[in-house]
Chains A and B, each alone.
Chain A
């Protein structure tokens, strides 16, 4: 039997996992829609920014048509008060939600891996200091800090040259999520590095006089990709949920732009009267997050050398 590379083995395992494949398809669909959202919306003739006062009653701003103003032109209804199209908001909101969570995950992974490797490899004082820094960060009541500092830090970002408005708000979210997120991954990576550095191939490199950086990033890093990939797959959906939670608490993008989170936060006021406001973005969000989590799960199983399948 011809020896297969690890990558091939894992892919083969995943291929056999029907749930994982379905999730993968769903995720690809979500990302495609996210990227093409504006195109889809304009083809459908809807825009998340156009006000439709004609569709709104004077009774407190309630959409005139039933179920939140559902009509052929606005298949998922329109927003309370403004008459903006919900379907279009969903398309555009998905895009921003994905941008935020993907960017935050990427940054988290970069920070976590780099700091984890450095801590694990250096040991001694550096390791100790980094360890205490992680303790400190993990001890902060994350939500409270994010909430109270959002205004001032967004403003700082603007002063640093980030465009005003949503650019700085999105960047703020990405930064705080990664800032409070990296220590978890760094701990995992550190542990892996600690065991890896005792292995023969690393010792061999050291004996051959390889530079420290070279050892870290060419010998050790490639052996870490499996846990990192799993971690990233499971972190991303976390961040999607976190963005929603932060929006709920009032830290999010500015209207007229929306995210899944801000749509849900918005629905809170009206869901007793118009439940679709809650259930439409809620369902879209849960499907996305569940797909990610299931895929991450399958990935972990596939990567598990003790895998029983």
Chain B
């Protein structure tokens, strides 16, 4: 089975989202079945699932037409990053790739998660050619692709864009796969010997020029990797976009002046803060012939920043005036769900086609710091005692997610398999509401007294209530739990500081592309970047390396399944929810491929289908 790919949201922005959206778990769900393909409703989409033959998808449907302005309402003060090398929030990337940026490869536009998880060529002519045991990847650019000023997009522009990622002190916060995968020597501390284009010496630049080469006609780009990556063509959807060197202003690229567009729209104006707007108009130098993938229906996009989430909900629900053609960045608040849904899979009649509930990108879990809670039985007791049913109810019920059983979410497709964590893993079935008596037994088997634990969470009202429920369910088993809320904007920067982190706390993670290689290694290996559990297990590390190197995808999937189960057996984390979101669009919008032209969640980014909406 296929699966939708998901992204993780940049940690800082996730924190910020937690801060403002009341209850970051806020969202909703279309189906309680843990099957990705049903999550966004039955697909009536024409089978663009024929994956790599991109062009067909949207054009086949008669409904869509060009024109009009689509408004995008958002609570954010501004986009985290517009710089193509730094954008790393799923929703942002989905929006940008549909409007202003092109990349070598893109995901198919389709409401069907299986279909949408497949790649389709964008700037490249095909899905790339691996050679040398997938250690070398070659992509050839289409003819006639240009930037907004009409100058051609060349291999050199992509190469320059990729090189910016290496300037980790200027280009911050973006995906860093280029640094991890490209065959460039590293320093003793693990950092790359190439410091990025801004301050590289000739010798250092030569290192990069050796790893990324352009053909004589400047149309073919070759990446030399330091490891076999059979999924490298997925990697190039993250931060491998072209940037013309002449326009690069480093730190504030895309902020001080609009970024240089390669997609069907260009930035006409951008003003941040409450009341700020970004206006996108058609890019006169974009042409359909060089871009069969996109179908830019609206004439204009207007992003409205700094709106109150509740006001946005009301405006979207009422859908009058300009709001008729509005989309909302992020999901509906829990308190407004009953207004528009009968149940998670059924909108109320008048909202049919306008609202949808389905998987968001995140698997939510509670990390346990194994350095502070080293006793396996104690961790088991914590997992067993946790009242997951209350957790979900407080977060918003069925709409916000299915109860999770691991950190790999079903929408990752073949990499997901049930871990049986709550059925047989600990010798007996654990009810959703927790089993304090069994937890007490486990504590007595642990050989130590039930410890006093400190629980970290972002200080928002909803998380506060969840924390109180976590506290009371663990205390029923004999633990003492102290609550240690953290200001939302600081959450991840605090819990990553070993001196400031508590014993366990709330987190969420989404994969970068449909392969659990972007889930298990980050979460449970020391250099993965998101190892909140502080796990550093040499056997596990070895198994992770083996799985990463595995070239047979089916075998690799089995490896990830086993590692996911193993992580749960060790209770490095307690899975809570496979998150869901409830999206809404204005009554004056339709989608090219959605069921009856209705709204759907675009699987690859768990986002609005930006590339598929049109004004009716």
Binding site for B on A (CB under 8 A): 49, 51, 53, 56-62, 79-82, 150-151, 164-165, 250, 254-256, 265-266, 268-270, 272-274
Which of B42-50, B65-73, B92-100, B465-473 lies on the face that meets chain A? B465-473
Choice from A49, A256, A272 contacting B335 with Cβ under 8 Å: A272
With known contacts A81-B393, A82-B390, A60–B399 Cβ distance under 8 A: yes
Residues of B within 8 A of A79 (CB): 465
Interface membership of B133, Cβ < 8 A = no
Residue pair B472, A256 in contact (C-beta under 8 Å): yes
Interface membership of B334, Cβ < 8 A = yes
Residue pair B337, A59 in contact (C-beta under 8 Å): yes
Q: How far is the CA of A242 from the CA of B354 in the complex (A)?
A: 42
Beyond A60-B396, A61-B395, A274-B335, list 9 extra A-B contacts (CB 8 Å). Answer: A49-B472, A53-B389, A59-B341, A60-B399, A61-B394, A150-B487, A269-B335, A272-B335, A273-B338
Residue pair A61, B397 in contact (C-beta under 8 Å): yes
Choice from B28, B335, B397, B399 contacting A273 with Cβ under 8 Å: B335
Residue pair B397, A57 in contact (C-beta under 8 Å): yes
Closest CB in chain A relative to B374 CB, distance in Å:
22
Residue pair B396, A254 in contact (C-beta under 8 Å): no
Residue pair B397, A269 in contact (C-beta under 8 Å): no
Residue pair B398, A58 in contact (C-beta under 8 Å): yes
Question: Within residues 474 to 520 of chain B, which ones have a CB less than 8 A from any CB in chain A?
Answer: 482-487, 490
Q: How far is the CA of A274 from the CA of B464 in the complex (A)?
A: 20
Residue pair B335, A60 in contact (C-beta under 8 Å): yes
Residue pair A255, B334 in contact (C-beta under 8 Å): no
Residue pair A151, B472 in contact (C-beta under 8 Å): no
Q: How far is the CA of A85 from the CA of B341 in the complex (A)?
A: 27
With known contacts A51-B390, A61-B396, A81-B394, A254–B314 Cβ distance under 8 A: no
Question: What are some 7 contacts across the A-B interface (CB < 8 A)?
Answer: A58-B399, A59-B337, A60-B396, A61-B397, A82-B393, A165-B483, A273-B335
Tally of A-B residue pairs with Cβ under 8 A? 100
Interface membership of B462, Cβ < 8 A = yes
Minimal Cβ-Cβ distance residue in A for B314: A272
Residue pair A255, B396 in contact (C-beta under 8 Å): no
Residues of A within 8 A of B472 (CB): 49, 51, 256
Minimal Cβ-Cβ distance residue in A for B400: A60
Residues of A within 8 A of B336 (CB): 60, 273
Minimal Cβ-Cβ distance residue in A for B311: A272
Closest CB in chain A relative to B62 CB, distance in Å:
36
Interface membership of B373, Cβ < 8 A = no
Residues of A within 8 A of B394 (CB): 61, 81-82
Residue pair B334, A60 in contact (C-beta under 8 Å): yes
Closest CB in chain A relative to B445 CB, distance in Å:
28
Question: Within residues 294 to 312 of chain B, which ones have a CB less than 8 A from any CB in chain A?
Answer: 310
Residues of A within 8 A of B23 (CB): 269
Question: Within residues 434 to 474 of chain B, which ones have a CB less than 8 A from any CB in chain A?
Answer: 454, 459-462, 464-465, 467-469, 472
Q: How far is the CA of A131 from the CA of B465 in the complex (A)?
A: 44
Q: How far is the CA of A164 from the CA of B399 in the complex (A)?
A: 34
Interface membership of B564, Cβ < 8 A = no
Interface membership of B233, Cβ < 8 A = no
Interface membership of B85, Cβ < 8 A = no
Q: How far is the CA of A81 from the CA of B333 in the complex (A)?
A: 13
Q: How far is the CA of A80 from the CA of B22 in the complex (A)?
A: 13
Residue pair B482, A270 in contact (C-beta under 8 Å): no
Q: How far is the CA of A61 from the CA of B485 in the complex (A)?
A: 22
Residue pair A266, B461 in contact (C-beta under 8 Å): yes
Closest CB in chain A relative to B395 CB, distance in Å:
8
Q: How far is the CA of A165 from the CA of B475 in the complex (A)?
A: 15
Choice from B397, B465, B468, B485 contacting A58 with Cβ under 8 Å: B397
Residues of A within 8 A of B333 (CB): 60, 269
Residue pair A151, B490 in contact (C-beta under 8 Å): yes
Closest CB in chain A relative to B453 CB, distance in Å:
12
Residue from the set A80, A81, A151, A254 with the largest chain B CB neighbour count within 10 Å: A81
Residue pair B310, A82 in contact (C-beta under 8 Å): no
Question: Within residues 322 to 379 of chain B, which ones have a CB less than 8 A from any CB in chain A?
Answer: 333-339, 341
Q: How far is the CA of A58 from the CA of B393 in the complex (A)?
A: 7
Residue pair A254, B483 in contact (C-beta under 8 Å): yes
Closest CB in chain B relative to A265 CB, distance in Å:
7
Residues of B within 8 A of A273 (CB): 335-336, 338-339
Residue pair B464, A254 in contact (C-beta under 8 Å): yes
